[in-house]
Chains A and B, each alone.
Chain A
Amino acid sequence: MVDPTPIPVAETALAVTGLTVSYAALPVVEGINARFPKGTMTAIIGPNGAGKSTLLKAALGLVPAVAGEVRAFGQPVAKAMPRIAYVPQRAAVDWEFPARVIDVVQMGLYRKTGLLGRMTPALKAQAVDCLARLGMADFAQRQIGALSGGQQQRVFLARALAQEADLMILDEPFAGVDAATESAIITVLHALRAEGKTVIAVHHDLATVSAYFDRVLLLNRRVIAEGPTTTTFRRATVAEAYGNTLLTSIPA
């Protein structure tokens, strides 16, 4: 087992210790130890079936874990939830739902409005601003189903931005989106990191790992390696995670 990089707890946004998740008695991820320092941007990479999405969902308490502990900002995740935003791989929603783009983004403000609080002009402006940061301000009045897949992905990221979370967790934010969307998303994520926020994303495109992320977590049911991209994202470790050596684009 690889030791987690030793980082003082106070600087850790998310700490996963001994996390094991099973579906039907088969462990999907086993004994995961990982530390995600504040203000960093980590890519979780690994082959299909490595348990990347499962790791995220279990860390957020969306699927039950068999064993292990997850703490965010030093607290149990359930308590720290108001500081965490999550963007699923592709939102499983009814695309015919009577909701406009701006209504969806405003849902990200629920913790501020609560059950009865008024959607004030300031909050409305904040929602519009989140859309604008992803270049979607012009689409505010569209029905959510009337957008392309990439545009929908940007709206769901805008909803997460509206939460003003300190930890942003994304499951394959770039899967199946066009180049314009990809560059809009990465710009926003880098801006978040610059503000001191923490970003964790499952990522598939090995060619862009070094450009986009400063840290990587290589996963194949167990943690293969974890650390800064420059030292950890190496041909040998990636090959170990993917089980082959045809990875010539990656530095040795």
Chain B
Amino acid sequence: MTFGAEFVPLTLPPLVIAVLAALACAAPGNFLLLRGQSMLGDAMSHVVLPGIVTAFLLTGSAAQPVMLAGALAAAAVSSALIEGIRRATGADPGAAMGVTFTAMFALGVLLLETSGAGAVHLDVEHALYGNLEGLIWIDATGWASLADPAALATLPPELPALAIATAAILGALALFWRPLTIATFDEGFANSAGIPTRWISAGVTGLTALAAVAAFSAVGSILTIAMLICPPATARLLTDSLPRQMALSLAIAALSAALGTVIAGYLPLALGLGFSVSASGSIAVLSGIFLGLAATIGPRRRRLAAAP
């Protein structure tokens, strides 16, 4: 068997999906980082589960759009809850988030375990680590299949869905780049300049939720959190320019995803072990290692000395 005959059906689709998910998450992650909301990604990736399960229980359908709508609705409910808890209790944002996402995730798990929603082809482990390795392209026979429309039609459905979502997220960020940066840097000034900062804020939350939802079914919550946070944080330690930070974070995210998938699939085999390990986990670890490197030798890793 040639390399292509094995690589194209078994490794290429997970690799492309991982890269797309990484790009979708890392892009809004840059703004979360600068707005001091990085943990919102953590919260969003947890609340997707109850959204998907509830949508299935209500409609009986496991179609992609239904799941997406359920997850987005859950994201909206949770951000309203977080804000409500902050107002009602005066708790700091971290604590309000912690209360919300643990309760919603617990609800999702209970619904899943007690309602027989197993038909969603979803179990808790899947929600946590994703199922990247399972997204194979059965009909592909080698590199030639990439030019074969009949074979392309049998690509895992997650791939085109994720491609659309990623394009939408990157497009929205590009379109609203200027007001986004102004509102992130100085909300008061943005208000006075006529930028609707509340909508910008809701938009960032919405894009994060969309990224979490789109990535979730393919790569699980762990990779979603890692990609929302680690590549932007790494890029932040490398440059002072926001456009460069964005570009670097996307490059780092893509590199982590591609390299992580390949390492997970082939490194244990190369070491003589007869199995592969979790691709999502490897990608997350790799992105963490990149951050560790940047934190040790990154040219812009230090804080500016505090003014009195």
Binding site for B on A (CB under 8 A): 23-25, 28, 51, 53-54, 94, 96
Q: How far is the CB of A63 from chain B (nearest CB, A)?
A: 8
**A152 vs B57: C-alpha distance in the bound complex, in angstroms?**
53
Set of chain B residues within 8 Å of A24, measured between Cβ atoms: 304-307
- Chain A CB within 8 A of B272 CB: no
Residue of A nearest to B89 (CB): A96
Set of chain A residues within 8 Å of B92, measured between Cβ atoms: 94
**A24 vs B308: C-alpha distance in the bound complex, in angstroms?**
9
Set of chain B residues within 8 Å of A96, measured between Cβ atoms: 90
Task: Please list 8 pairs of residues, one from A and one from B, whose beta carbons are closer than 8 Å in the complex, sorted by A's number.
Answer: A23-B308, A24-B304, A24-B305, A24-B306, A24-B307, A28-B308, A53-B308, A94-B92
A23 touches B306 (CB 8 A): yes
A54 touches B308 (CB 8 A): yes
**A23 vs B308: C-alpha distance in the bound complex, in angstroms?**
7
Set of chain B residues within 8 Å of A94, measured between Cβ atoms: 92
Residue of B nearest to A57 (CB): B308
Q: Beta-carbon contacts of B265-308 to A below 8 Å, as 1s and 0s?
A: 00000000000000000000000000000000000000011111
Set of chain A residues within 8 Å of B304, measured between Cβ atoms: 24
Residue of A nearest to B308 (CB): A23
**A123 vs B292: C-alpha distance in the bound complex, in angstroms?**
51
A23 touches B305 (CB 8 A): yes
Residue of A nearest to B305 (CB): A24
B307 touches A23 (CB 8 A): yes
Residue of B nearest to A94 (CB): B92
Which bracket fits the contact residues of B? under 10
Residue of A nearest to B92 (CB): A94
Tell which of B92, B306, B308 has the most Cβ of chain A within 10 Å: B308
Q: How far is the CB of A44 from chain B (nearest CB, A)?
A: 15
Residue of B nearest to A97 (CB): B90
Residue of B nearest to A54 (CB): B308
Set of chain B residues within 8 Å of A54, measured between Cβ atoms: 308
Set of chain A residues within 8 Å of B90, measured between Cβ atoms: 96
**A107 vs B92: C-alpha distance in the bound complex, in angstroms?**
24
Apart from A23-B307, A24-B306, what are 4 other A-B pairs with CB-CB below 8 Å? A23-B305, A24-B307, A28-B308, A54-B308
Set of chain A residues within 8 Å of B305, measured between Cβ atoms: 23-25
**A51 vs B308: C-alpha distance in the bound complex, in angstroms?**
9
Set of chain A residues within 8 Å of B308, measured between Cβ atoms: 23, 28, 51, 53-54
Q: How far is the CB of A193 from chain B (nearest CB, A)?
A: 30
**A154 vs B50: C-alpha distance in the bound complex, in angstroms?**
50
Residue of B nearest to A24 (CB): B305
**A24 vs B303: C-alpha distance in the bound complex, in angstroms?**
11
**A51 vs B307: C-alpha distance in the bound complex, in angstroms?**
12
**A25 vs B306: C-alpha distance in the bound complex, in angstroms?**
11
Residue of A nearest to B306 (CB): A23
Across the A-B interface, give the 8 residue pairs with the lowest CB-CB distance, nearest first. A24-B305, A96-B90, A23-B308, A28-B308, A54-B308, A23-B307, A23-B305, A23-B306
Set of chain A residues within 8 Å of B306, measured between Cβ atoms: 23-24
Residue of B nearest to A51 (CB): B308
**A175 vs B307: C-alpha distance in the bound complex, in angstroms?**
22
Residue of A nearest to B90 (CB): A96
Q: Beta-carbon contacts of B74-96 to A below 8 Å, as 1s and 0s?
A: 00000000000000001010000
Residue of A nearest to B91 (CB): A96
**A108 vs B306: C-alpha distance in the bound complex, in angstroms?**
30
**A94 vs B89: C-alpha distance in the bound complex, in angstroms?**
13
Q: How far is the CB of B307 from chain A (nearest CB, A)?
A: 6
Q: How far is the CB of A118 from chain B (nearest CB, A)?
A: 32
Q: How far is the CB of B92 from chain A (nearest CB, A)?
A: 8
Set of chain B residues within 8 Å of A23, measured between Cβ atoms: 305-308
**A53 vs B306: C-alpha distance in the bound complex, in angstroms?**
15
Q: How far is the CB of B130 from chain A (nearest CB, A)?
A: 38
**A24 vs B306: C-alpha distance in the bound complex, in angstroms?**
7
